[in-house]
């Protein structure tokens, strides 16, 4: 990246020139027909950031007039990116970063043939309960930084490895130190001390635990799956969370078919995550959820899980062809998917779930924003948050074409250079 001028300033207006391929995800705002290209690509583009927001996006040939109209003065800083591709910052709508301990032995055993089971979560619960606040903070910070280095500028993260009132309260409180998108997942699994009384644990979750956690959280979540919570228990948790003012999201249909997806749609959840085993009715319900005025339920696919558990990959093509909205997220956690790499999710989705590069990049950016019901991120039209990723590549296709290669050249978060 070549900096032409660098006068400094706390929030300088920055003009990025020489963008070979700019993915805006906002076709109407940049004069692209959304039927031809829902990702609103502009070639040989320029992008103006001002005050933490995108001020203008368009062809570089039109940039003098665009900057004059949007800013009315010269930008403070001009940066040339020499033909590189630019995409919106990734929106990772699903991670579990408040944890301690290591489960590499479990991963190794899986690669040798042992299946993934929800019970492994309890190993991390024991390590997390034993950790100090500062140890958990250090783990959180390390993972948030690693995610940012790979282009993630918006990140959701969950509790769920505490499973007692003080440990869950601590988890959401610490998570809130690094992101606004905090999810209360007290109903991750039933902790060992409630093995004989799972409904008693649900009473605790919807009672004192929710009361302690709701002030720090935006979302409530539940793992609705055999070995975790039944559909009835899940409904109780989600309805209580919604009554406490939290938005609803669900883990479901990861390990086998079940009622979780339909429960999520029924309750107007923002997202239902995993969606590995779907019936035709599940797919139809997800698609139909986008038919009315209200926002529907996003099917969030987490292909890092299938990579790391040797399960079959979900079928994104089937969902998209039916009219569902699909997001991609990392599910970064020490058990089922220990990676925070959204570029890897794009590569896996393209290779294994039947989507095009354009669809995968949209799902990892705009799709994640839909899953978090955010309209300020996931796109790069005027007014959007200035979260920008410059790839060390001439096109976004390289995200899938060059898996495992560090392709993030530069990141702006909220208009500030972040990498
Ligand atoms: O989303 N499915 C439930 N929870 C996590 C896994 C957590 C773990 O194994 O520690 C997930 O895959
Ligand atoms: Fe998860």
Tell me: the pLDDT tens digits for 177-218?
Answer: 999 999 999 999 999 999 999 999 999 999 999 999 999 999
Across-strand partners of 316?
A: none
> What are φ and ψ of residue 175, in 5° steps?
-60, -40
- Centre of ligand 1 to C-alpha 395, Å, is 33
Pick the CATH number of 2-89+379-417 from 2.30.40.10, 3.30.70.360, 3.90.740.10, 3.40.1110.10: 2.30.40.10
Contact present, 99 and 139 (Cβ < 8 Å): yes
Q: Which CATH architecture has domain 90-371?
A: Alpha-Beta Barrel (3.20)
Tell me: the pLDDT tens digits for 33-75?
Answer: 999 999 999 999 999 999 999 999 999 999 999 999 999 999 9
Protein residue with least CA distance to atom 9, ligand 1: 335
pLDDT at 119: 77
- Centre of ligand 2 to C-alpha 94, Å, is 6
Find the DSSP H helices in 258-397.
260-266, 280-288, 303-309, 316-322, 342-352, 357-362, 368-371
Determine the Cα–Cα distance for residues 362 and 34; give it in Å rounded to an integer.
Answer: 13
Determine the Cα–Cα distance for residues 129 and 167; give it in Å rounded to an integer.
Answer: 7
Determine the Cα–Cα distance for residues 390 and 102; give it in Å rounded to an integer.
Answer: 33
Ligand nearest 249 Cα, by number? 2
- Centre of ligand 2 to C-alpha 208, Å, is 23
Determine the Cα–Cα distance for residues 63 and 84; give it in Å rounded to an integer.
Answer: 17
End-to-end alpha carbon distance in the chain: 12
- Per the rule left: phi > 0, alpha: psi between -120 and 50, beta: everything else, 193 is alpha
Tell me: the pLDDT tens digits for 110-142?
Answer: 999 999 887 789 999 999 999 999 999 999 999
pLDDT at 318: 98
Q: Where are the domains of the chain?
A: 2-89+379-417, 90-371
For residue 299, which of 348, 342, 261, 336 has the smallest C-alpha distance?
261
Which residue among 125, 336, 340 is best mutated to probe the pocket of ligand 1, counting the most ligand atoms within 8 A of its Cβ? 336
For residue 213, which of 231, 194, 240, 189 has the smallest C-alpha distance?
240
- Centre of ligand 1 to C-alpha 118, Å, is 7
- Centre of ligand 1 to C-alpha 336, Å, is 5
Determine the Cα–Cα distance for residues 213 and 164; give it in Å rounded to an integer.
Answer: 11
Protein residue with least CA distance to atom 1, ligand 1: 331
Ligand nearest 100 Cα, by number? 1
Protein residue with least CA distance to atom 12, ligand 1: 336
Which residue numbers in the chain have pLDDT < 50?
A: 1-9
Determine the Cα–Cα distance for residues 183 and 176; give it in Å rounded to an integer.
Answer: 9
Token digits of residue 348: 């896996």
pLDDT at 10: 63
- Centre of ligand 2 to C-alpha 130, Å, is 22
The CB of 124 under 6 Å from ligand 1? The reply is: yes
Ligand nearest 225 Cα, by number? 1
Atom of ligand 1 nearest to the CA of 94: 1
Atom of ligand 1 nearest to the CA of 123: 10
Protein residue with least CA distance to atom 3, ligand 1: 223
Question: Which segments within 24-147 are labelled E, that is strand?
Answer: 41-50, 53-59, 77-80, 85-88, 90-92
For residue 167, which of 207, 199, 209 has the smallest C-alpha distance?
209
């Amino acid at each position: 990246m070549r900096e032409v001028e660098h006068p400094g300033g706390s929030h300088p207006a920055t003009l990025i020139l020489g963008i070979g391929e700019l993915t805006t995800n906002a076709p109407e705002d940049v004069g692209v027909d959304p039927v031809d290209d829902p990702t609103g690509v502009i070639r040989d583009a320029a992008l103006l950031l001002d005050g933490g927001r995108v001020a203008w996006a368009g062809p570089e040939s039109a940039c003098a007039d665009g900057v004059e109209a949007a800013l009315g003065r010269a930008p403070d800083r001009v940066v040339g990116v020499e033909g590189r591709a630019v995409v919106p910052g990734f929106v990772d709508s699903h991670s579990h970063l408040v944890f301690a301990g290591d489960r590499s032995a479990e991963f190794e055993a899986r690669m040798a043939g042992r299946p993934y089971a929800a019970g492994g979560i309890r190993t991390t619960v024991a390590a997390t309960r034993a950790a100090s606040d500062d140890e958990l903070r250090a783990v959180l910070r390390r993972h948030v930084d690693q995610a940012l280095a790979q282009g993630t500028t918006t990140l959701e993260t969950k509790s769920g490895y505490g499973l007692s009132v003080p440990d869950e309260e601590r988890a959401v409180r610490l998570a809130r130190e690094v992101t606004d998108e905090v999810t209360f997942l007290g109903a991750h699994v039933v902790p060992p001390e409630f093995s004989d009384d799972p409904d008693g644990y649900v009473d605790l979750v919807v009672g004192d635990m929710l009361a302690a956690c709701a002030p720090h959280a935006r979302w409530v979540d539940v793992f609705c799956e055999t070995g975790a919570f039944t559909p009835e228990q899940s409904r109780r948790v989600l309805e209580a969370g919604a009554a406490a003012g939290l938005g609803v999201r669900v883990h479901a249909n990861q390990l086998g078919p079940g009622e979780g997806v339909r429960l999520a749609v029924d309750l107007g959840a923002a997202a239902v995550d995993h969606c590995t085993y779907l019936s035709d009715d599940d797919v139809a319900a997800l698609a139909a959820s986008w038919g009315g005025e209200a926002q529907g339920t996003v099917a969030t696919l987490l292909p890092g899980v299938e990579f790391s558990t040797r399960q079959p990959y979900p079928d994104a093509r089937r969902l998209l062809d039916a009219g569902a909205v699909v997001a991609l997220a990392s599910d970064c956690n020490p058990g089922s998917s220990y990676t925070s790499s959204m570029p890897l999710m794009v590569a896996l989705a393209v290779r294994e779930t039947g989507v095009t590069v354009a669809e995968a990049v949209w799902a990892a950016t705009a799709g994640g924003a839909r899953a978090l019901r955010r309209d300020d991120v996931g796109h790069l039209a005027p007014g959007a948050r200035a979260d920008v990723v410059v790839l060390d590549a001439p096109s976004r296709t390289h995200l899938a074409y060059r898996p495992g290669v560090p392709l993030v050249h530069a990141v702006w978060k909220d208009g500030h250079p972040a990498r």
